[in-house]
Amino acid sequence: MTEFTHSRRRFMVLSSATLAAAPWLASCASAEGSAAIPAKAIGMPWPNWGELPDTPPSAPNAGSVGFAVMGLGGYGIGKVLPALANGERCHVAAVVSGNPEKAKTVAAAYGLPEDAIYSYEDFDRIADDDRVDAVYNVLPTGLHLQWTEKSFAAGKHVLCEKPMALSAAECEQMIAASEASGKKLMIAYRCHFEPFNLRAMELMREGAVGKIKTIETAQTYRMGPTSVAENWRVVRALAGGGPLEDYGIYGLQSALYLSGEMPVSVKAVTEQPANDPRFAEIFSTVTTEMRFPSGAVANMVTSYDTTPGRNLARVEGEGGVLIMEPATGYGGHKMSLVRDGVREDLVPGDPDVQFARMCDHMADAIREDAAILTPGEMGLRDMALIEAIYRSAAEGREITL
Ligand SMILES: NC(=O)c1ccc[n+]([C@@H]2O[C@H](COP(=O)([O-])OP(=O)(O)OC[C@H]3O[C@@H](n4cnc5c(N)ncnc54)[C@H](OP(=O)(O)O)[C@@H]3O)[C@@H](O)[C@H]2O)c1
């Protein structure tokens, strides 16, 4: 992902000597340094972005839901932990990590006792930890199924990062595990809690651009030099096909929630440049055309290989156009509605609320047994569409859904 303002404050970057001395990293690279990162839960060095709080968060409100954050990577430290700490009805109750030193530092920053630190090896003892109601799974995608199942087996609810898993079959297994355990499963589709996207959904429902004709989405950036030994996002067993699951899923979601429809067909093309270590296992670019029952057509592009990057959602109708750019990032959203040649810039709220609101929503679902806005079934729906997109590209034909 790209759309981030990174901060290195308070983060150390491990030197190669430190890495060599870190046994939890030993399985990461072969002697030649070229083996892919394994598709199993292992500790990783400090991410290159994110901040820890200067002082631990204040005590949680009464009835607050305790979350264990699983996977202390960029998003886990940079967004998930602060979101839980900022929530009104949720808090950080534990961390799960394969890097003990990092876990200790993060736990201390969030005021957690040492017995609230779990490794992947001793995770199962979390079943006896009443401080933890739910697990927030922030692991690489290829580990979502296994560790969501383990969390349900431990009697915890699960908030799982997007994309839900690597296939529709995996998503079905996760939903089945949720049902068998009687615990909730939510997918962390944060745009459903973000004021610009919420207002855009509302405008489209109100018919603000008239009958929708076309939707255009673009989620692209250029990934720096990397390889399967260095970055799970280019390892097929951890990331699937690559940019579509990671970033293009925002465009796919936008097309669905802005049109308010499910497509009847998809037609797609994938690119995988030869001799580029970034794309040894994944696609660089996926372009897709989706047709909707109303006659509307969505064109979506996602790429790890274009510069400058884009983050666009644009809806053209018979009576106007809605332009969101940037559309789905962490912040900096811009949205305009153009009708009769008049452009209206809309600022419906602060995008930063999306993270904590999403966590509070999960907390409400748990405490009040309320319906989840972004349940496992939505993750399954999206993964089934992604599979159809890849099938269309592989078979070189339009797929009717
Ligand atoms: N919603 C959003 O906007 C958004 C944005 C970014 C990412 N995400 C999602 O969040 C998840 C994590 O992404 P991220 O950017 O945080 O990744 P990341 O920075 O690479 O961190 C992943 C963390 O997972 C743990 N891990 C366990 N086994 C691993 C393995 N085999 N390879 C790599 N890491 C492993 C490590 O934590 P420990 O060292 O603590 O064990 C690692 O630091 C993904 O599902 C991604 O799609 C969502």
Token pair for residue 141?
A: 């995608």
Helices H, strands E: what count in the chain? 12, 15
* Residue 250 bears catalytic tag: yes
Q: What is the residue-averaged pLDDT of the chain?
A: 93
Domain definitions of the chain by residue range: 16-190, 195-350+375-400
Q: What is the amino acid identity at position 400?
A: T
79 in Cβ contact with 355 (< 8 Å): yes
What is the CATH number that goes with domain 16-190? Answer: 3.40.50.720
Q: Which amino acid belongs to residue 309?
A: G
Ligand 1 neighbours by CB, cut-off 6 Å: 1, 37-38, 40-44, 47, 71-76, 97-99, 102, 138-141, 143, 161-162, 188, 190, 232, 246
Q: Write the residue with the smallest CA distance to atom 32 of ligand 1.
A: 232
Reported as a pLDDT band with limits 50, 70 and 90, residue 366 is very high
Q: Which two tokens stand for residue 400?
A: 């009717």
Q: CB 219: neighbour CB atoms within 10 A? A: 31
**Which of 161, 233, 249 is the pocket-test mutation for ligand 1 (most atoms within 8 Å of CB)?**
161
In the annotation, is 334 catalytic?
A: no
pLDDT per position as a tens digit, 116-144: 999 999 999 999 999 999 999 999 999 99
Say which of 79, 102, 150, 162 is annotated catalytic.
162
Which of 110, 250, 330, 390 does the annotation list as catalytic? 250
Map residue 368 onto helix, strand or coil. helix
Residue 4, pLDDT score:
29
Among 40, 70, 138, name the best residue to mutate to test ligand 1's pocket (greatest count of ligand atoms within 8 A of Cβ): 138
Residue 75 CA to ligand 1 centre (angstroms): 7
Ligand 1 mean position to 114 CA, how many Å?
A: 22
Question: pTM for the whole thing?
Answer: 0.93
> Mean pLDDT across the stretch 181-200?
99
Residue with the two structure tokens 């040492």: 114
Rounded mean pLDDT, 236-250? 98
User: In 110-248, which residue ranges form alpha helices assigned H by DSSP?
Assistant: 144-153, 168-181, 195-205, 236-239, 243
Ligand 1: residue whose CA is nearest its atom 25: 71
Instruction: Give 324's strand partners.
Output: 313, 335
Q: Give the pLDDT of residue 19.
A: 34
Where residue 261 falls (left for φ over 0; alpha for ψ -120 to 50; beta otherwise) is: beta
Residue nearest to atom 18 of ligand 1 (CA): 73
Across 188-192, average pLDDT: 99
pLDDT on residue 33: 47
Which of helix, strand or coil describes residue 261?
Answer: coil
CATH 3.30.360.10 describes domain 195-350+375-400: yes
Question: Could you read off the pLDDT of 286-321 as tens digits, one per residue?
Answer: 999 999 999 999 999 999 999 999 999 999 999 999
Question: Is there a shared CATH topology between the 16-190 domain and the 195-350+375-400 domain?
Answer: no
- Sheet (strand 265-271) strand order: 342-346, 335-339, 320-324, 305-317, 212-222, 297-303, 285-291, 265-271, 399-400
Residue 118, classed as helix, strand or coil, is: strand
User: How confident is residue 21, by pLDDT bands cut at 50, 70 and 90?
Assistant: very low
Which amino acid would we find at residue 220? T
